[in-house]
Structure 1
């Protein structure tokens, strides 16, 4: 189980870094477009589509698993302060199990959509250029699948001390 946790955590971290790189690439791409437009009156027609289809989807979906591992997703703890440590762990495990079900459903539906868009070979027509965008449909299912796996591991971690220890050790190692 420890090797699975370490493997999933490494993949989640890599996806988080790819999401961070997408933010930097988006910033540089937009800045270059603005610079070229203002200095040379030249505009890159594909920037809005690339930003919307690639950068933004990578930023939104790829880091989900990493955020779950780091416990940095938004949470609302209305009655948590009143619960005993045992009930708090059960509550946290329940929340992670529900999250895993939701992420799993989203992953399933998005994998279907990504495969459908791949079969069709989805393109976006920009002026005289047809830009393929079917690749971008894979960011969501990859992110949701990873978040599903992480949520299941976290739920097990809240329920079983050995799994929680293994998750904690994996976090401390890397």
Structure 2
């Protein structure tokens, strides 16, 4: 059961990170194309800034957020932690994971509600007399935090020592 959940979460994180990477490449291509079109042809891509800021940037920043948690790459302060016994370290990790789950759950609920409101109102940005629908991007955040919550649950299932061992294998 743990192995199946672990593989599923790992694949979901890889997929979301892959989508984020593809979107980053698309953003770079579009920005370069806009610069070329603006400078050579004096005709910039219509509403380039709307697409970059409302679609690309949100996806690039939030889709890979679960990867940092999966790899245990989030910023930590370990001055006192290093001096703790193994048992206290384990309890500390479980406590931090429970807090992370609470925060992620609150974010998922509030961001989902905001996304649904935006969808129901048909949120858009008016740029160059064109209505650009932006409500779909509001769903990226709750999905990203839900994936992060799944990673935290995965950590809790495999335990602090396994999470630390994985980080050590990667050279952290």
TM-score by shorter chain over 0.5: yes
Shift of 1:146: 0.7
Q: In the alignment, is the contact (CA less than 8 A) between 1:93 and 1:156 conserved in 2?
A: no
Tell me the CA shift for residue 143 of structure 1: 0.1
Deviation at 1:158, TM superposition (A): 2.4
2:61 matched to which residue of 1? 60
2-side partners of 1:25 and 1:89: how far apart? 42
Counterpart contact for 1:61–1:139, Cα < 8 Å:
yes
Partner deviation per Cα, 1:16-69 (whole Å, 9 max, x = no partner): 111112211111111110010011001123111111111111112111222211
Tell me, which stretches of 5 or more residues in structure 1 are unaligned?
none
SS of residue matched to 1:124? strand
Give the equivalent residue in structure 1 for 2:49: 48
The answer as to whether partners of 1:33 and 1:43 remain within 8 angstroms in 2 is yes
Give secondary structure in 2 for the equivalent of 1:45. coil
Deviations 1:115-136 (A, max 9, x none): 1111111111002111111111
SS across alignment from 1:6: helix
Deviation at 1:78, TM superposition (A): 2.8
1:28-107, aligned counterparts within 5 Å?
Answer: 28-107=29-108
**Alignment TM-score, normalising by the size of structure 1:** 0.87
After TM superposition, the runs of 4+ consecutive aligned structure 1 residues lying more than 6 A away are none
Equivalenced residues, count: 166
| C-alpha distance in structure 1 between counterparts of 2:155 and 2:4, whole Å | 15
The equivalent residue for 1:151 is 152
CA RMSD, Structure 1 to Structure 2 (Å)? 2.1
Whether the 8 Å CA contact 2:126–2:132 is kept in 1: the answer is yes
Alignment gaps of 5+ in structure 2: none
Give me the whole-angstrom Cα distance separating, in 2, the residues matched to 1:143 and 1:12.
9
